[in-house]
Amino acid sequence: MKSLLFQAMVAENVPAWQNFLKDAQKVSLPLGAEQLAASLWLLPADDETYLALSRISHRHGIASRCLTISHVGEWQPLSSVP
């Protein structure tokens, strides 16, 4: 199973950043997606949500990056025994 970690980089241009955040809030997140912070999302590897957020960031001149995460099973807390 794969997930994507999408991060938008905080911009010095405050109006552009605020407009990005406003538009990003309008993106409907699929099942299994989480917004971890104002500029950080954990997304399923379906590419649709990633593309939507990426297009919004480019439209507003906001840099972004994406990290692909491959995991075998369900997430486990560090305190649990596998």
Judge whether residue 22 has pLDDT over 90. yes
Domain presence at residue 77: no
pLDDT in tens, 29-54: 998 899 999 999 999 888 799 999 99
Tokens representing residue 35 in the block: 């917004």
Write the CATH number for 22.
3.30.70
Number of domains in the chain: 1
Q: Which of 32, 63, 62 is nearest to 49 (CA)?
A: 32
Checking if the pLDDT of 73 tops 80, the result is no
Predicted confidence (pLDDT) at residue 23 exceeds the cutoff of 80? yes
Residue 26 lies in a domain: yes
Asked, for residue 80, whether it belongs to a domain, the answer is: no
Place of tokens 């994406």: 66
Inside any domain, residue 82: no
Is the pLDDT assigned to residue 78 strictly greater than 80? no
Task: Write out the residue range of the structural domain in which residue 20 sits.
Answer: 2-70
Q: Is residue 48 part of a domain?
A: yes
Fill in the amino acid letter for 41. Answer: W
Kindly state whether residue 75 falls inside one of the protein's structural domains.
no
In a domain, 81, yes or no: no
